[in-house]
Structure 1
Amino acid sequence: MSPLDQLPRGRPGRGLRRSRRPGVTPDAGIRRRPGQVLVGSFAAAIAVGTLLLLLPVSSAGRGATVLEALFTATSAVCVTGLVVVDTATFWTPFGQAVVMLLFQVGGFGIMTLASLLGLLLSRRLGLRSRLVGASATSTVSLGDLRRVLLGIGTVTVVVEGTTAAVLAARFVHTYGEPVGRAAWLGLFHAVSAFNNAGFALYTDNLMGFVTDPWVCLPIAAAVVVGGIGFPVLLEVWRSPRRPRAWSLHTKISVMMTAVLITAGTVFMTLAEWSNPATLGPLDVRGKVLAGFFQGVSPRTAGFNSIDIAQMDSATWLGSDVLMFIGGGSGGTAGGIKITTFTVLLVVIWAELRGDPDATLFDRRIAVSAQRQALAVALLGVAAVLVSTIVIAMTSPFTSDQVLYEVVSAFATVGLSTGITAQLDSWHQVILCALMFVGRLGPVTLGTALALRSKQRLVRMPESAPIVG
């Protein structure tokens, strides 16, 4: 049951007024608002970020064009990491701070942030704020929202603070950075990692640290923690030694995160093991570390410690799969989400066995969840295929390069083969749209834009067409 379904249907309570429109239930208007507010807030944040990046103080040399500012703001708010200008050299420290603020707000969730601030200031949340916050955080129960919001704030501060401290210490003692500069580098990359943004203050991203575990591992850890989903983190924190007591969602998220990280690491390491332009020159330890980092990163992180443009085309295709699946629901990751992917796998397995129920961990998966997973996956495939075909037909780049770029945008990853800045302006606008849709989710966006929802009182007779 969604948070919106838990609204009272009898006598309206405090904060809930009867509708004056005949035939409309008191909560019908509120029921549709959280998704719309979420979409509008992300759009507003992108607009504000664009205006800030257009200020002369934001750019180091020439002023940014409207498209450059819009693309960067969209990429930051949608925690993607694709860029059309070099973050390290094009933007001033002020511009870089704006970018960091944008992906912090985008990753945390605009409505989540607003609800948390309201909670800290007033010590209580109104019904509307609870609905909006529940929509943003994928909270199961309205009663859990206060705990979830406080947990999100705590986890964010702890993970980003710890990661920033470790990185800053490494930059000072190993790379000779001044304390102030090291602290800024540590904070920027920690926030970028936890929010799965992938922005870096080095022109080559993190390629200069490919064999440094004190840089790659803390960033990878922050990526995993931020991408697995806040509800999962809180549930694991409450019952770390009782996995049997975890919800089905948490069990799926933990299991599939481990499976995909392992599979991604093995695939990346073996696929690029002998490539002289990527892992080839490294020793065994360096290859394993780089393979692990690149196995984690495509699951919406966007950092790269090896040259993506020099990877084999088969490796690109494998990365496309990892990017499209993405991370956990309710976190900073993108993609169709690992729960969606898992539900589809379970449904296929049940169909192959002739089982009328799709079950996992002794739980029957609701038909509504199956339909939602199918809708999210197919809408995602459609968005990726249409965009890839359009851009590939009107650009000089190969289809595998374009596909990589499009999947990276839709899944809000940020990895690139290096063609983003070379695309035509309207191609970049398409990528902006993909990042926006990919961050909010096709179903969420469609629901937010729908004028009204319908409930059928009469169902048609059932029939089964021939499939296959």
Structure 2
Amino acid sequence: MTDAARAPRGSFLRRAGHEFLEFFRELTQRSPARFAILIFLSLILVFTGLFSLPIAAADGRVTPFADAFFTAVSTVCVTGLATVDMATHWSPFGHVLVFLGVQIGAVGVLTLASILGLVISRRLGLRTKLLAAGDSNPLRAHGGPVNEGQTVQLGQIGSLLATVALSTLVIEGIVAVMLFPGLLVAGVPWYTALWEAPFYAAMAFTNTGFTPNAGGLVPFQHDYFFLTVLMAGVFLGSIGFPVIYTLRRHLWHVRKWSLHAKLTIITTVALFLAGGVVFLILEYDNLLTLGTQDAFDTTFQAFFLSAMTRSGGFAILDIGELNQSSLLVACMLMFVGGGSASTAGGIKVTTLAVIALAVWSEAKGRLANQVFGRRIPSDVLRVALSVVAWGSTIVALSTIIITQITKADLGDVLFDVISAFGTVGLSTGLTAELPDPAVYVMAITIIMGRVGTVTLAAAVAASTRSQLYSLPVERPIVG
């Protein structure tokens, strides 16, 4: 080929590449939320293709599309539900895909999109900072008023992104080192433990709950140090990167903690303790779960279950054998989930805290929603109520559709749907038996739960319109 022929082709490629970058820059500026969802869906499609490869399966065959797609969704959305046996179906290459998928998906939709925007733009401009800040305060993605003092300020976004990367590496590294001796004690060869320790650490911090071995946590059911380390990893992953960022800067200065950090930690600990006590009361005489164990085992397993239903996804007990009352409590905990901008799902603990504080303020006759010497503006309460409404609607519709498709028990369907929406990963056994149409419905539920109801609402909104006038006030009767 002559130089004259190569020149036009080179110019065309440069022009095409420039137009491609300009397209992405324009998309991030026009709708950060839509850009974030586009990136997330693209990742799911890429991993679906990778999981479909024969090399990803232990038997060397092509995995059916429904199973490959659901595994990709569950992995990238750090959920932990599965339609196949995750320990035996996938080859070592498939397990590496799972490990990489949860690491990528754990950073969050908007943070992931902002990092990609940083790669494209090569700098943290205002739009990129707003995109990353959407994970620390969804009001930015929603387009509402923002009180920067409540989470992470725009000038600190670079530090927040560094915190996301460093905390993931450091926490998972420490957890892996602490889990390694427990694997050796359980009889796992050292060369296998070198892989399983970081795998367990990643599944704990990302709140996914997959296990690399066929027996799951059964070999460690009495290794309380091992299980406690897992719980610690789940807790650190569930409180959220903005809270980790606050603790890194002001660990011993509680007065300097942001209101978001205080509400997240207090509500998380309160739900953990309350859940453990309730499970202990409801399951102590259930011979299929905790009824045959001694007092210490029963207490520990009840609190372990409480921690995992918040979004951890690890299970020692057979979830399908829990009392119906315990399943209902688990559904409530899973629906709440973990902290905002965390690896956990659900409506988030701060959403619950804001609504509970509003109810308390109304009962006390206060005109403002306030706590710790701070007033929570009304727009935050409106978003909190919207999140609960969107979440409840998604769960209700998915439950109705899957129940109609499978004709399965309503309680089992509701539990697994809420587990999917909250990206928890616990199952009564229903998910593994779902037909393909129900698998796709469950996958969509997972995506909606992981993307976040506020981000989803911002993405589907055509535009944000300013209203320059005020309508007459009229109060409908409520209650």
Q: TM-score, normalised by structure 1?
A: 0.90
In structure 2, the CA distance between the partners of 1:126 and 1:199, relative to structure 1 (3 Å rule), is same
Deviations 1:145-199 (A, max 9, x none): 1111111111111110011112122212x12222221011111111011011111
Match of 1:329 in 2: 340
SS of the residue corresponding to residue 163 of structure 1 reads helix
Q: Decide which of 143, 158, 176 is 2:170's aligned counterpart.
A: 158
Distance 1:341 1:205 in 2: 32
Mean Cα displacement is larger for which, 271-280 or 322-331?
Answer: 271-280
What is the identity, as a one-letter code, of the residue corresponding to 1:127?
L
Shift in CA distance, 328/269, structure 1 to aligned 2, threshold 3 Å: same
CA contact (8 A) 2:335 2:418 kept: yes
Deviations 1:55-107 (CA, angstroms, capped at 9, x unpaired): 00000124210000000000111111000001100000100110111111101
8 Å CA contact 2:305–2:315 kept in 1: the answer is: yes
> Residues of 2 paired with 1:396 and 1:313: CA distance?
19
Contact 2:37 2:109 (C-alpha < 8 Å) held by counterparts: no
- Please state how far the C-alpha of 1:289 moved relative to its aligned partner: 1.9
Secondary structure, counterpart of 2:315 in structure 1 = coil
AA aligned opposite 2:194? A
Q: Determine whether 1:258 maps to 2:269.
A: yes
Q: 1:188 to 1:368 in 2, by over 3 A?
A: same
Letter in 1 for 2:277: V
The 5 Å alignment of 1:375-414 reads 375-414=386-425
After superposition, the Cα gap between the structure-2 partners of 1:251 and 1:290, relative to the gap in structure 1 and judged at 3 Å, is: same
Corresponding residue of 2:11 = none
Q: By how many angstroms is 1:137 displaced?
A: 4.3
Identical positions, percent: 39
Quote the residue 2:55 is aligned against: 57
Change in CA separation of 1:204 and 1:375 when aligned onto 2, cut-off 3 Å: farther
State the partner residue of 1:99: 98
Q: Contact 1:325–1:338 (CA<8 Å) still a contact in 2?
A: yes
Is 1:41 aligned to residue 46 of structure 2? no
- The 2-side partners of 1:355 and 1:112 are apart by 37
Deviation at 1:448, TM superposition (A): 1.4
Distance, in Å, in 1 between the alignment partners of 2:349 and 2:309 is 13
What's the secondary structure of 1:328's corresponding residue? coil
Superposition pairs for residues 187-266 of structure 1, below 5 Å? 187-266=198-277
Counterpart CA distance in 1 for 2:470 and 2:37 is: 32
Call closer, same or farther: CA 1:287–1:215 in 2, change over 3 Å. Answer: same
Alignment of structure 1 residues 322-361 onto 2, 5 Å: 322-361=333-372
How many residues get paired? Answer: 441
One of 312, 319, 323 as aligned partner of 2:330 = 319
Instruction: Tell me which amino acid in the other structure corresponds to 1:316.
Output: L
User: CA 1:122–1:449 in structure 2 vs 1: closer, same or farther (change >3 Å)?
Assistant: closer
CA distance in 2, matches of 1:282, 1:422: 30
Write the distance in 1 (CA, Å) between the matches of 2:106 and 2:194. 21
| Aligned twin of 1:306 | 317
Give the 3 Å change call, closer, same or farther, for CA 120–162 of structure 1 in structure 2: farther
> Shift in Å at residue 290 of structure 1?
1.2
Match of 1:444 in 2: 455
Structure 1 pair 466–266 and aligned structure 2 pair: CA distance change class (3 A): same
TM superposition shift of 1:115: 4.9
Q: Name the SS for the 1:187 alignment partner.
A: helix
- Residue matched to 1:15: none
Q: 2:294 aligns with which of 271, 283, 286?
A: 283
Q: C-alpha deviations, 1:293-329, integer Å up to 9, x for none?
A: 1110011111111111111111000000000011100
Unaligned runs of 5+ in 2: 1-24, 138-150
1:354 is displaced (CA, Å) by 2.7
* Distance (Å, rounded) in 2 between the aligned partners of 1:190 and 1:92: 20
CA distance in 2, matches of 1:231, 1:162: 20
**Does residue 177 of structure 2 align to residue 168 of structure 1?**
no
2: CA distance between counterparts of 1:292 and 1:203?
24
Q: Does 1:460 align with 2:471?
A: yes
User: Which of 160, 169, 174 lines up with 1:148 in the alignment?
Assistant: 160
Alpha-carbon offset, residue 391 of structure 1: 2.0
**Would the alpha carbon gap of residues 443 and 119 (structure 1) be closer, same or farther in structure 2, given more than 3 Å must change?**
closer
Q: Which moved more, 1:308-317 or 1:125-134?
A: 125-134
Task: Tell me which amino acid in the other structure corresponds to 2:46.
Answer: V
CA 1:307–1:204 in structure 2 vs 1: closer, same or farther (change >3 Å)? farther
Residue 87 to residue 366, structure 1, CA distance change in 2 (3 Å): same
Q: Does 1:90 align with 2:89?
A: yes
**Is 1:71 aligned to residue 70 of structure 2?**
yes
**8 Å Cα contact 2:82/2:432 also seen in 1:** yes
Counterpart of 1:446 in structure 2: which amino acid?
A: A
Gaps of 5+ in 1: 1-26
Letter in 2 for 1:37: F
**Contact 1:165 / 1:183 at 8 angstroms: preserved in 2?**
no
